[in-house]
Amino acid sequence: MHMHRAEKIWMTAGIAMLVVFLATLTTAAIVDGFVPPSHVQSIDPTKVSQTAPFDHPGLHKLADGSYEAYYVAHIFSFDPQHLVIPLGAHVTFYVTSPDVEHGFSIPLTGVNTMVTPGWVSTVSHTFKAPGKFLLVCNEYCGAGHQMMAGDVEVK
Ligand code: CUA
């Protein structure tokens, strides 16, 4: 079968691009640990305010010295709105929504997950730098989406 030279060049470029993309994804997943957030825990979205520990959102210290932070993301704010985290703390965030799809992002930290009603999103981070970090909803969730923000203070 005869193949035109230009066709060969484009086919090679296409395959090379696929190989590069696949290598990038594999490297990010294995070396950098970039994996999709786990959605293993479910919750009744109509009963979030009555379901422990989401009935008392906030930071909880564990016996091993690490922390758990429970968050409720709802239209159009986060509960808690403000959180103080001790410097150097390893925090696992558990976030859920009683209403619509939200985002949970703390820029400059790598904390970034979608928040889906009925599910508990989990993401961990060790806060090694002091400062006040913005917490934002980065999924369009309605008319007040742009006001949906809070902060995390590391000190
Ligand atoms: Cu919540 Cu956008």
Please write the tens of the pLDDT for every residue from 77-104.
Answer: 999 999 999 999 999 999 999 999 999 9
Atom of ligand 1 nearest to the CA of 142: 2
Q: Which amino acid, residue 151?
A: D
**Taking the C-alpha atoms of 55, 56, 59 and 63 in order, what is their torsion angle to the nearest 10 degrees?**
-90
> Which residue's CA lies nearest to atom 1 of ligand 1?
102
The lowest-confidence range among 2-11, 34-43, 56-65, 125-134 is: 34-43
How many angstroms does the Cα of residue 142 sit away from the middle of ligand 1? 7
CA 11 to centroid of ligand 1, rounded, Å: 42
| Contact 141 CB / ligand 1 (< 6 Å) | yes
Is pLDDT at 63 greater than 80 in this prediction? yes
Residue 102 Cβ < 6 Å to ligand 1: yes
Q: What is the pTM of this model?
A: 0.76
**Mean predicted confidence (pLDDT) in 137-153:** 96
φ, ψ of residue 102 in degrees (nearest 5): -130, 175
Give percent above pLDDT 70 in the chain: 97
d(CA 121, CA 128): 22
Residue 145 CA to ligand 1 center (angstroms) comes to: 4
Per-residue pLDDT at 37 exceeds 90: no
Measure the CA–CA gap between 90 and 2, rounded to whole angstroms. Answer: 61
Residue 145 Cβ contacting ligand 1 at under 6 Å: yes
Pocket flag, ligand 1, residue 137 (CB < 6 Å): yes
pLDDT of res. 150: 96
DSSP state of 36: P
